[in-house]
Structure 1
Amino acid sequence: MNQKIRVLVVDDEQFNREELIYLLSQYQSIEIIGEADSGESCLVQAMRKHPEVVFLDIEMPVMSGLQTAELLLDLKKPPLLVFATAYPDFAVQAFRYEAIDYILKPYDEDLLEQTVQRIEKKLNTTTELEHTNVNKLGIEVEGEVIYIDPNDILYLHSEEKQVKVFTKTSDFVTKKTLKELEARLSSYPFLRTHKSYVVNLDHVSRLTPWFNGAYNLSMKGKDEQLPVSRNYVKTLREILEL
């Protein structure tokens, strides 16, 4: 590969992190861009550093690796996931989260090499189209395609198998999924705040505590408040605040 693969290593035990980082550092194609000791720290770093691959421990306190994986897959550009654990019993669950591989502790260097090769092959076959930034978002409305400036979009809301796109002046309905729209808008400051909502961070005006660790979000020029799930609150605050 011409560019190195950006990797984030996540494990609550320092020795395990250091061992895996050392082993991965032996590969010229790998660049370790960070390490995290918890699911929460992993999400914040993933939002800031945009790793292409996350090596993720499963057994972690507070937020497990599986819970973390679910949130990572909701990012605008979800990283490839490799689960690293001492317990083979999690394998079936792990692959439900679209993991590219599952490695066991203590690490077998030959098997780890196979994992790296699998990652390289996967990233090499990614088409240029998937990395192309959009200038306009095309929405089909009554047989016509309307092109929207992403900077004018306030938020996206998924409801009843369709997504509403809310702009400063109007709203539109599209059959594209929320995840598809996130990918298309990946070069703009959009963030998922709830399983049904993606917001443009440039238009956020207020974050208000609500109930049981969740928050409500206010957008400039809109009266309604949008929900922020408690799993996304810390990440949102880390990004918004100085």
Structure 2
Amino acid sequence: MEVAGKRVLLTGGTAGIGEQMALQLKAKGAEVIITGRSLKKLEAMRKAGFEAIEADLHSPLGADRIVQALGGRTLDVLINNAGQGVDHDFREEAPDADAADDCIYANLNTPIRLITALLPRLKERPEAAIINVTSGLAIAPRAGGPVYCATKAALRSYTQAIRAQLADTNVAVIEALPPVVDTQMTAGRTNKKMAPQECARQILDALEKGHAEANVGMVKVLKAVHSASPALARKVMLRF
């Protein structure tokens, strides 16, 4: 896909991977509409030339607000990038079930609601795309983040299924699987992290080249190990 001139809706576009995708898409000539929760960060992105929609994605109201803000405009690309982690480790303390619900809604339910609401207008375009940002942890989970991993694995399955449904349409369905990236979500982790700029570049490269998946950085290695031995991939990742 040639992204110049395309209208892109990008959730979670005020920081991390999302901010970098927004900046790189804009530099390529796309019109980028971002969403976020932080009023300060949203205002900073507006000053940088982006349309920015305030939306909390933990309930149906977030997706509804985004769709309402779009009005009747056309849309070429939907990028479901917004996501959040949650502490959920019984070895440390009793997890917060409400926090788990928030994570599940933001990471899984909201992307499904946005796709459901916006697919008709994507189908109207000469070419269109949906990018769902999952994680390498969708392939094999780590023990310390079971809820986050479960949401990403579920979104991976959803992505694969709707890709099959839309195979004969003009809408490409792409899954982006980042490794550990240096963002606010991973601030407390000490393992090696990819720069968000490079992660964003690889995801957009998949969009431009028409790839069904963007296995970013070390996820390529995890994918290869999992293909050879799913049990070995799980054993390695569950240590974390």
Could you say which structure has the larger radius of gyration?
1
Q: TM-score, normalised by structure 2?
A: 0.39
| Structure with greater contact order relative to length (CA < 8 Å, sep ≥ 6) | 2
Higher helix share: 2
Q: TM-score, normalised by structure 1?
A: 0.39
